[in-house]
Amino acid sequence: MSEAGDGGAAAPFFIHHPDPDNPGWHVWELSDPTRFNASLGRFRVRMEPDGRVRVRTRPEHRHSNVAGALHGGALLGYIDIALFAAARMHGIIEAGKAVTLDLSVQFIAPGAVDAPLDLVIEILRETGRLLFLRGLVEQGEGAAPVAGFSGTIRKPERAR
């Protein structure tokens, strides 16, 4: 189970701001580089015109399996992180901690290492405490999706 949020102004968990080097994109990084998320590399995120959120990262050799393709465990980590980035881009998770309740993934094609990996997420429904999302992992125009996924996030409790 993962935790995410931005913790408010006093102790933000994530660094999230427009990326000056990539117009239209935002930086999405953990403020503590000693946590698991940092092992997966850098993330950039942007809102698409249709309301979906695109999260981009670039797998490295350390994220590969013995066949030289993207390791399934690394892919699961990318997807989990992308769910929270999408929620943040929509302004749903502003502060506090949230957790992944479930994550279902369908591996479709091998992912390449050292090539940009895009996770494209849409929000299906939001309730008082839950957020339902789904998406595709894409790599290269016209290529088969690497994976499809759906997940549920339990939103943080509201401050009283």
Give the range of the structural domain holding residue 24, as residue numbers without chain letter: 3-154
Q: Tell me whether residue 160 is in a domain.
A: no
Residue 50 included in any domain: yes
Residue scoring higher pLDDT (97 or 65): 65
Phi first, then psi, for residue 123 (nearest 5°) are -90, 125
- 32 vs 58, higher pLDDT: 58
How many structural domains compose the chain? 1
Q: Is the pLDDT of residue 95 over 80?
A: no
Q: How far is CA 105 from CA 33, 67, 140, 151, in A?
A: 27, 20, 20, 9
Summarize the confidence of residues 74-95 as an average pLDDT: 90
Q: What are the tens digits of pLDDT across the range 17-30? A: 899 999 999 998 88
Q: Is residue 159 situated within a structural domain?
A: no
Q: Locate 121 and state its tokens.
A: 């997420």
Q: Does residue 132 belong to any structural domain of this protein? A: yes
**pLDDT interval class at 10 (50, 70, 90):** very low
| 59: in domain | yes
Q: Could you give the CA distance from residue 106 to residue 147 in angstroms, rounded to a whole number?
A: 5
- Answering whether pTM is above 0.85, one says yes
- Residue 126 is assigned to a structural domain of this protein: yes
Question: Is 114 part of a structural domain of the chain?
Answer: yes
Handedness of CA 148, 135, 18, 50 (dihedral sign): positive
Judge whether 139 lies within some domain. Answer: yes
The CATH number of the domain where 41 resides is what?
3.10.129.10
